[in-house]
Structure 1
Amino acid sequence: MGSFPNSNMDTNSPAEVQKKQRRVLLIFFCIPVSPGESRVIWVFPRNFAVWIDKVIPRWIFHVRNNLILDSDLYLLHVEERKIAEVGASNWQKACFVPTKSDAQVIAFRKWFRKYSNDQVDWGAKFNGLLPPTPAREQLMDRYWTHVVNCSSCRAAVKGLKVLEVCLQVISIGLIGIIAAAREKIVSTATRTATVSTALLFYLASRWLAHFIYRNFYYHDYNHAFK
């Protein structure tokens, strides 16, 4: 958020100050597609530094934004099952909504009860029962829920994996060169520097492999450690 200037020196009206205030929003549509599963269509608009979007690849923003979406994914999954246990019409028994910010949740539930009888009409396609809770890695999987459908993230994974292999090849190549070279031809200092460089390339490849897995395949999120 932007900082406000000192009130004694500020000649702008409150409306002008509000207009200049920097904001980043999360706007999304959550569309039920089957019991226990929804499709999320989201965007993170902001009113400042929009030129960055033309410079920085989209996948970098997606990696950051997915952290925000993942932060509540498991909680919502568990809460959905708690509501199912007490019955959708008794959802208040499974939720605690005491603050003013919860007013929209309560309003939505009232609307949902009035126009949809507290449930999604699946017709004859589904029976409405929730499927068993999958493994956490499957529930919070990023590759099949996002990457395969995102051209920017797909390209990033492909490029980063190529870089990972290149780092490993260079590391092995350097070790091979030193192993094949005669001691009289290559000095001890050169050997040490080359082996150290090979080790750095290998460690970089391992770090990159972890980065790829953590950001494009599975990134666990535990509120207790945040």
Structure 2
Amino acid sequence: MTTYNNLQSEKCDTNVELAPEEELFQWKKQWYPVAVVDFLDSSRPHGMQLLGKDIVLWRDGSGKWCCFEDACPHRLVPLSEGRVEADGTLLCAYHAWRFDSQGNCVNIPQTKDKQTEAKHCSNPKSCAVVYPTQEKQGLLWVWAESGSQALVESQLKAPRILPELENQSDKVIKLFWNFRDLPYGWDFFMENVADPAHVPVSHHGIVGNRYKDPRYYDMIGLRQMSTQEGFSYEVTPTAANIKQSIADFQPPCHMRIVSTFEDGGQMILALYATPTRPGWCRHIGCQVLVKNHENKTPPGLGFFALPMPIWLGHILASIFLHQDMVFLHYQEKALAQKQNDRWLDAVYTPNPQDKMVIAFRNWLEKRAGGNIDWASEYNVQLPAPETDKQKLFDVWGTHTQHCSVCQDALKNINRLTILSFVAAVICGFLGVIIDARAVATQVAVASLEQTSASALIIPPLAFWCLLIGAILFTATGYLLKKLSRLFYVYEFEHARND
């Protein structure tokens, strides 16, 4: 029996072959979003990875964010362990060499004299390796190649920004950016977001119901596959209140999902994934809501469209992200074990809901070399599957320690936690004193009146108020402590998600 998988494989294979004039997709000649500018601490350098290359992000004295290779040219120690100085230079904390935003070494303090220092600083070997950067729509973008030629090439290409945010229309509402380092590869992220069929099942309770909402639908190709521009698919039929739903893959890092409602409003999911190292990617995303002609705001994605502080949106995102993380982390490792199998031969995809996933895998195989072009010196090997769920569902290392907004919120929550427990102790202490005084007073009165004191010892109203206060402050401290844990880890099991 011929399956849909085989038919679609043959069909896609004939559509994705490179035309003679087309070049293979160039992974390193691209702009990648690496950070949300507002969430970066500008007082210090930030180390991360891009295509397997260690890089460091830092802001100079003029307010410009820069990107260097994370290695001091002196002895190759990480510049991310250095400091941003008051004069706007980046200092290597090993021997105090300093660099300006162009990568030029401007100070080597161990040199014999100023003349010798100037000679050493003018040597190209003293320069840091610089990558072009730009800020667009609140994101810091990095070009994945360095050098003068890379600077020229980067200026000829635009990053994958959101056109709606360029219009500055009052009908466009951009919700908060979020980011997370995810323990699975860029390709598995893109495959996942190209698959709307998983949404009501994996994200049961947030977006849909696993028992009622899975249904048959088709995916219709809208934009012809292109090496440089990707492709797009439309879901049909859609939900009753949605007129059209389109998923648009724009390489190297953007998936744009647009839901147009019957009343004309739109919800746009802007999803980015930057390949950092094998088995990992950095996801940056936001929702954009476009009002209809009657100025009505459309619904967003679950409760994430509700008004809330940015830090709360960040930690609640774990509830959503970890629901399919637990699949994708292990799925990637399982498919890697089938080293001799093509992706299409290793899986079974009989229904049309997988059309876009199949198209993506064919684009990657036929148009982009079959894999990411990692840094040449990088050992391209997947990490082992993580069996410790505490580590797999780590939030601190994959988000909080890199987000200044969440770090500030965590500090404030910890302060409030301490104050709550201190207030509980004070209320309890004062309650005991007041109760003791009331008891002593009532005993004295009973003694004078020669009546039984035991029948008269009733705690005063102030005692009960303080007791209730102590209980409320204790409960508040406990809940704040529970809330603070979400900044560190959020474990999830589908078996418990009723």
TM range (shorter): 0.7 to 0.9
Partner of 2:468: 196
Partner of 1:8: none
What RMSD, in angstroms, separates the aligned Cα atoms of the two structures? 3.0
Say which structure is richer in helix. 1
Give yes or no for the alignment of 1:207 onto 2:479. Answer: yes
How far apart are the structure 2 equivalents of 1:206 and 1:94?
48
Question: Which TM-score applies when normalising by structure 2?
Answer: 0.38
Q: Unpaired runs of 5+ in structure 2?
A: 1-238, 243-259, 292-296, 299-303, 440-457
2-side partners of 1:108 and 1:63: how far apart?
30
Q: CA deviation at 1:88?
A: 7.0
Superposed displacement of residue 109, structure 1: 0.6
Q: CA deviation at 1:125?
A: 3.0
The higher relative CO (CA closer than 8 Å, separation ≥ 6) is in: 1
Identity across aligned pairs (percent)? 24
Any idea what the Cα deviations from partners look like across 1:4-33, whole Å, max 9, x if unmatched? 9xxxxxxxxxxxx94635554432122221
Give the structure 2 partner of residue 217 of structure 1: 488
Change (3 A) 1:79 1:132: same
Q: Do the aligned partners of residues 94 and 125 (structure 1) sit closer, same or farther apart at CA in structure 2, a change above 3 Å counting?
A: same
**Is the CA contact 1:26–1:45 (under 8 Å) kept in the aligned structure 2?**
yes
Question: CA 1:185–1:3 in structure 2 vs 1: closer, same or farther (change >3 Å)?
Answer: same
Counterpart mapping for 1:72-151 below 5 A = 72-87=324-339, 89-92=341-344, 94-134=346-386, 135-151=388-404
Structure 2 residue corresponding to 1:38, chosen from 274, 281, 284: 281
Secondary structure of 1:43's match? strand
Q: Deviations over 1:52-105 (max 9, x none)?
A: 99x642223323434222221121100100110112743235544333332111
CA–CA distance in structure 1, aligned partners of residues 313 and 351 of structure 2: 31
Distance (Å, rounded) in 2 between the aligned partners of 1:95 and 1:42: 29
Q: Measure, in 1, the Cα distance between the counterparts of 2:340 and 2:312.
A: 38
Instruction: Decide which moves more: 189-198 or 140-149.
Output: 189-198
Q: CA separation in 2, counterparts of 1:176 and 1:93?
A: 71
Distance 1:144 1:60 in 2: 17
Indicate if the aligned counterparts of 1:148 and 1:154 stay in contact, CA closer than 8 A.
yes
Quick one: distance in 2 between partners of 1:195 and 1:112?
Answer: 65
- Deviation sequence 1:111-153 (CA, Å, 0-9, x none): 1111344322324333222112332222221122122333332
Describe the shift of the 1:93–1:201 C-alpha distance in structure 2 as closer, same or farther (beyond 3 A).
farther
Whichever structure has more strand as a proportion of its residues is: 2
Q: Which residue of 2 aligns with 1:58?
A: 310
Q: Which residue of 1 aligns with 2:417?
A: 164
Structure 2: distance between partners of 1:94 and 1:139: 25
- The CA distance in 2 between the partners of 1:199 and 1:142, in whole Å, is 31
Give the direction of change, closer, same or farther, for the CA distance of 1:145–1:112 in structure 2 (3 Å limit). Answer: same
* CA contact 1:31–1:38 (8 Å) conserved in 2: yes
- Secondary structure of 1:164's counterpart equals helix
